[in-house]
Amino acid sequence: MNLRHRHFLKELDYAPAEWRRLLDLAAELKKARADRAEAKRLEGLTIALIFEKPSTRTRSSFEVAAYQQGANVSYFDETGAHMGHKESIADTARVLSRFYDGIQYRGSRQDIVETLAAHSSVPVWNGLTDEWHPTQSLCDMFTMRESSGLEDRDISFAYVGDARFNQGRSLLIAGAMMGMDIRIVAPEPLQPDGKLVATARRIGAGTGARVTVTDEVDAVRGVDFVHTDIWVSMGEPKEVWAERIELLTPYRITTELLERTENPDVKFMHCLPSYHDLGTTVAQQILAETGREVFEVTEEVFESPASVVFDQAENRLHTIKAVLVATLA
Tell me the H-state helices in 183-248. Answer: 194-207, 241-248
- Min dist CB 291 to ligand CP, Å, is 28
Amino acid identity for residue 149 in this structure: G
Binding status of residue 171 toward ligand CP by CB under 6 A: no
Identity of the residue, 46 or 55, whose beta carbon is nearer to ligand CP in the bound complex: 55
CA distances from 127 to 9, 34, 44, 319, 320 (A): 8, 25, 23, 12, 10
Residue 30 to residues 131, 312, 326, 328: CA-CA distances in angstroms?
Answer: 28, 13, 14, 18
Burial (CB < 10 A; 0-12, 13-18, 19+), residue 2, is exposed
Edge-to-edge order in the sheet of strand 181-185: 210-214, 181-185, 156-160, 225-228, 267-270
Residue 57 binds ligand CP (CB under 6 A): yes
Which range, of 41-49, 51-59, 113-121, 157-165, touches ligand CP by CB under 6 A? 51-59
Site string for ligand NVA, 197-236 (x = CB under 6 A): --------------------------------xx--xx--
Site string for ligand NVA, 234-273 (x = CB under 6 A): x------------------------------------x--
Residues 146-165, interacting with ligand NVA (CB under 6 A) = 165
By beta-carbon proximity to ligand CP, the closer residue of 140 and 181 is 140
Site for ligand NVA in 111-140 (CB under 6 A): none
- Compute CA distances 199 → 114, 195, 196, 203, 243, whole Å: 20, 6, 5, 6, 29
Q: How far is CA 318 from the centre of its chain?
A: 13
Q: Using the rule CB under 6 A, is 272 a contact of ligand CP?
A: yes
State which residue, 20 or 252, has the beta carbon closest to ligand NVA: 252
What is the distance in angstroms between the CA of the first residue and the CA of the last residue of the chain?
Answer: 13
Name which of 12, 8, 137, 255 is nearest 145 in CA terms: 137
Distance CA 324, CA 321 (A): 5
User: Contacts with ligand CP in 134-153 (CB under 6 A)?
Assistant: 136
Asked whether position 55 contacts ligand CP by CB under 6 A, the answer is: yes
229 interacts with, out of ligand NVA, ligand CP, none, CB within 5 to 8 A per kind: ligand NVA
| Residue number, 33 or 53, with CB nearest to ligand NVA | 53
* Binding characters for ligand NVA, 267-306, by CB under 6 A (x = yes): ----x-----------------------------------
- Quick one: which of 171, 144, 291, 281 has its CA closest to 229? 171
CB of 275 to ligand NVA, least distance (A): 11
Amino acid, res. 132: W
Note whether 101 binds ligand NVA by CB under 6 A.
no
Please tell me whether residue 232 binds ligand CP under the rule CB under 6 A. Answer: no
Q: Do residues 305 and 128 touch, judged by C-beta distance below 8 A?
A: no
Rounded to a whole number of angstroms, the minimum distance from the CB of residue 316 to ligand CP is: 7
Question: Which residues contact ligand NVA by CB under 6 A?
Answer: 165-167, 229-230, 233-234, 271
Question: Which residues contact ligand CP by CB under 6 A?
Answer: 55-58, 128, 136, 271-272
